[in-house]
Amino acid sequence: MSIQIPRGTQDILPGEVEKWQYIENKARELCGKFQYNEIRTPIFEHTELFTRGVGDTTDIVQKEMYTFTDRGDRSLTLRPEGTASTVRSFVEHKMYGSPNQPVKLFYMGPMFRYERPQAGRFRQFVQFGVEALGSKDPAIDAEVISLAMSIYHSMGLKKLKLIINSLGDKESRAAHRAALMEHFTPRIGEFCKDCQSRLQKNPMRILDCKQDRDHELMKSAPSIIDYLNAESKEYFAKVQKYLTDLHIPFTVDPNLVRGLDYYNHTAFEIMSDAEGFGAITTLCGGGRYNGLTEEIGGPETPGIGFAFSIERFIAALNAEGIELPVNKGIDCYLVSLGEDAKDYTVVLLQKLRLAGFSAERDYLERKIKAQMKAADRLNAKYVAILGDEELNNKVINVKHMESGEQKQIDLESFVEKFQELNQ
Ligand code: HAM
């Protein structure tokens, strides 16, 4: 039997990959404008980075990590997300000492989670993410959210819903935690095993349980919004004011708890509102993680960021019927007949390409009709036809495929003339 691709992964083939490149380029371009710089970290890290960073009560750490022991007996894990690695690198390279603060970074690359594969959920997926470290100005929360929205808007997505919540600071969370314990403890026996262990370690995780989400105690659970202290409330109010000033519509959802432990204050998700998007509607998730840097061994540094997967981005584009301007075709296809003409096009093709044009010729000894078909398939703007007779007369016939207009051009100055035609 032939070997097949592992479950939950996919090959991105030519024809499709151009969409990925387009999204990646646009996102990079916008990061440049917003002044976020690229960081590249390894695809695997010491397992402890994620157990400490992401949190050992999360589904990611408990059930989804690709962890292995290397030949040196170290426990390593394929990164399930990018924030912990970015913060590790921030600490390791003492970026907190840089005169440019806050440190604003972006990354892009494959992440790995052993999840149950379904539409929009893969075991290897590509995340694009940003992290801003070193500022607790609520304006940077608004900037990060606005960057995410700008990336979506720049590609024409409209059916988006931004939901935000505040998870408060340490004090607010402690008060909320006590209330949650009081709420769930008497009936915790009715919940799944995971929730039972979450009760002591991190009762907020219960609210994120997929198995027990319809239990009646979920709806009546104490909401973090009611436990925010004055400082957290003021912070959240400022974030909302800035979003309003930036004309970014949002909904406050007090039930939004993210699947990772490091969040506090602002948490947000961007969902697709498009019909037929599928069951998983979250396109992008992020939030503030003051305290994570200390957890990873660095000095006290506030941070906020987000990440989205390109897989879900493309699903959202498809659901809204948006065609990205890719696969636009090539500038010129060189059709040749006769041995000498064929030989001549080898160098002519190179000249065209070096002059900046996308160009192709036949490599399969095809007849003229089949070469024209090949040009059509490549969506060539022009076809240049060279036979031995033209070669003898030092001319070449150039046809504009859309209008059918044809011109005879002096062969020696073909590249310059072709440049003029394309001006
Ligand atoms: P997350 O919510 O776990 O957050 O993931 C962020 C995004 O990654 C999701 O909204 C989704 O677009 C994509 N994603 C996650 N899992 C999958 C999957 N199995 N298949 C396809 N796409 C997936 C984080 O990872 C945080 N590090 C985000 C962050 C950055 N928070 C602060 N800074």
What per-residue string of b and e applies to 180-216 under the rule 16 or more CB within 10 Å gives b? beebbeeebeebeebbeebbeebbbbbbbbeebeebe
Return the higher-pLDDT residue of 214 and 332.
332
pLDDT > 70: percent of the chain = 100
Q: Is the beta carbon of 129 within 6 A of some atom in ligand 1?
A: yes
- What pLDDT is stored for residue 111 in this prediction? 98
CA distances from 269 to 72, 166, 285, 286 (A): 40, 12, 4, 6
Q: What CATH number does the domain located at 332-421 have? A: 3.40.50.800
- What pLDDT is stored for residue 261 in this prediction? 86
Which element (helix H / strand E) includes 88? Answer: helix 83-92
Find the mean pLDDT for residues 21-46: 98
The pLDDT of residue 144 is above 90: yes
131 is in an annotated binding site: yes
Q: Which of 23-27, 53-57, 377-381 has the lowest mean pLDDT?
A: 53-57
Q: In the CATH hierarchy, which top-level class contains the domain 17-169+229-319?
A: alpha beta
Contact status, residue 104 vs residue 122, Cβ threshold 8 Å: no
Q: Which of 201-205, 238-242, 366-370, 413-417 has the lowest mean pLDDT?
A: 201-205
**CA 55 to ligand 1 centroid distance, Å:** 15
Reported confidence tier of residue 209, pLDDT bands at 50, 70, 90: confident
Ranges for all domains in the chain classified under CATH 3.40.50.800: 332-421
Find the mean pLDDT for residues 36-55: 97
32 is in an annotated binding site: no
- Calpha distance 53→300 (Å, rounded): 14
Average pLDDT, the chain: 95
Model's pTM, two decimal places?
0.93
**Sign of dihedral through CA atoms 208, 214, 217, 222?**
positive
Q: Is the beta carbon of 306 within 6 A of some atom in ligand 1?
A: yes
Reported confidence tier of residue 412, pLDDT bands at 50, 70, 90: very high
What does the pLDDT look like over 256-277, one tens digit per residue?
988 888 999 999 999 999 988 8
Find the mean pLDDT for residues 279-302: 95
Instruction: Specify the residue for token string 């304006």.
Output: 139
Helix (H, G, I), strand (E, B), or coil: what is residue 118? strand
Lay out the sheet containing 332-337: strands in order across. Answer: 359-361, 332-337, 382-387, 395-400, 406-410
Ligand 1: atom nearest CA of 113 is 19
- What pLDDT is stored for residue 275 in this prediction? 87
Going by C-alpha positions, the residue among 363, 367, 366, 369 that lies closest to residue 345 is 363
What does the pLDDT look like over 169-180, one tens digit per residue?
999 999 999 999
The pLDDT of residue 67 is above 90: yes
Ranges for all domains in the chain classified under CATH 3.30.930.10: 17-169+229-319
Residue whose CB lies within 8 A of the most ligand 1 atoms, among 107, 260, 280, for a mutation test: 260
- What pLDDT is stored for residue 96 in this prediction? 97
Contact status, residue 270 vs residue 308, Cβ threshold 8 Å: yes
- What pLDDT is stored for residue 276 in this prediction? 81
Ligand 1: atom nearest CA of 260 is 3
What does the pLDDT look like over 78-90, one tens digit per residue?
999 999 999 999 9
